[in-house]
């Protein structure tokens, strides 16, 4: 199995979906570590309750030196033999340095149908634009924000009177399925 780290910044529902999927005997990833830049991220407690190693590296202790923060994380990943990274609601923009270190070995889930709506407030922007559909994308992480090659997408309808929260909830259900299925596919091929 591919020793894989999940990066989170908050509640970690995508992390939960990945870990639950990995309980199948034939799942190709071993989620050996959950990393957060926020020591208070709720998802860390859940991961620990599952017996998964957790690592909080608070970006605030590094001031403006983003790369120093990432070098500290990277050293831990190497020390633990991590081979692959799934970003799952990790809300820091990565430096080109870290992206380069993990080129071809790091994927992200983003709550829009890329290339539409990179960045934040994706659901609000899709509704305001009058789009008929929203969704989520899994992509390779490249130096540009939310800019790497798309691997897989899932679509949901945008309904009359939808709020960003209602649409986010509809998309999130698809995120959970798509992320597990995509990791299975990518790492089974390797
Ligand atoms: C998810 O919707 C994910 O797609 C999004 O944050 C949420 C995290 O939820 N990611 C981004 O916006 C990345 N820029 P979770 O912590 O419950 O998985």
ipTM of the complex: 0.99
CB 14 within 8 A of CB 89: yes
Helices (H), 38-121: 42-49, 66-79, 96-101
Per-residue pLDDT averaged across 70-83, rounded? 98
Feature table: binding site for (6R)-10-formyltetrahydrofolate: 66, 91-94, 108
Whose CA is closest to 123, among 174, 163, 88?
Answer: 163
Q: Who's near 78: CB < 8 A, 6+ residues apart?
A: none
- Opening angle at CA 177, ends 175 and 179, nearest 5: 65
Per-residue pLDDT averaged across 64-90, rounded? 98
Closest-lying ligand 1 atom to the alpha carbon of residue 13:
17
Q: Please tell me if the CB atom of residue 37 comes closer than 6 angstroms to any atom of ligand 1.
A: no
Model confidence band, residue 189 (pLDDT cutoffs 50, 70, 90): confident
- Opening angle at CA 59, ends 45 and 86, nearest 5: 60
Distance 168 CA to ligand 1 centre (A): 10
pLDDT exceeds 90 at position 190: no
Per-residue pLDDT averaged across 98-107, rounded? 98
Model confidence band, residue 152 (pLDDT cutoffs 50, 70, 90): very high
Cα(85)–Cα(126) distance, integer angstroms: 28
Give the phi and the psi of residue 103 in degrees, each rounded to 5: -55, 130
Q: What pTM was estimated for this model as a whole?
A: 0.98
Per-residue pLDDT averaged across 75-83, rounded? 98
Give 54's strand partners: 34
How confident is the model over 156-176, as pLDDT tens digits? 999 999 999 999 999 999 999
Q: Is 65 helix (H, G, I), strand (E, B) or coil?
A: coil
End-to-end Cα separation, the chain, in angstroms: 10
């Amino acid at each position: 199995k591919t020793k894989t780290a999940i990066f989170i910044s908050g509640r970690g529902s995508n992390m939960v979906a990945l870990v639950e999927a990995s309980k199948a005997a034939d799942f190709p990833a071993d989620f050996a570590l959950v990393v957060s830049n926020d020591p208070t991220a709720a998802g860390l407690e859940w991961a620990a309750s599952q017996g998964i190693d957790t690592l909080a590296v608070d970006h605030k202790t590094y001031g403006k030196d983003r790369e120093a923060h990432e070098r500290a994380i990277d050293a831990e990943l190497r020390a633990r033999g991590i081979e692959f990274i799934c970003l799952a609601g990790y809300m820091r923009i990565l430096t080109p340095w870290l992206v380069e270190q993990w080129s071809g070995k790091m994927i992200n889930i983003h709550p829009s149908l890329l290339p539409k709506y990179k960045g934040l407030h994706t659901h609000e922007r899709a509704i305001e634009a009058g789009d008929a559909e929203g969704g989520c994308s899994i992509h390779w992480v490249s130096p540009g924000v939310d800019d790497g090659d798309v691997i897989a997408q899932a679509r949901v309808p945008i309904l009359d009177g939808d709020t960003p929260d209602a649409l986010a909830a509809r998309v999130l259900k698809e995120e959970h399925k798509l992320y597990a299925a995509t990791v299975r596919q990518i790492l089974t091929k390797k």
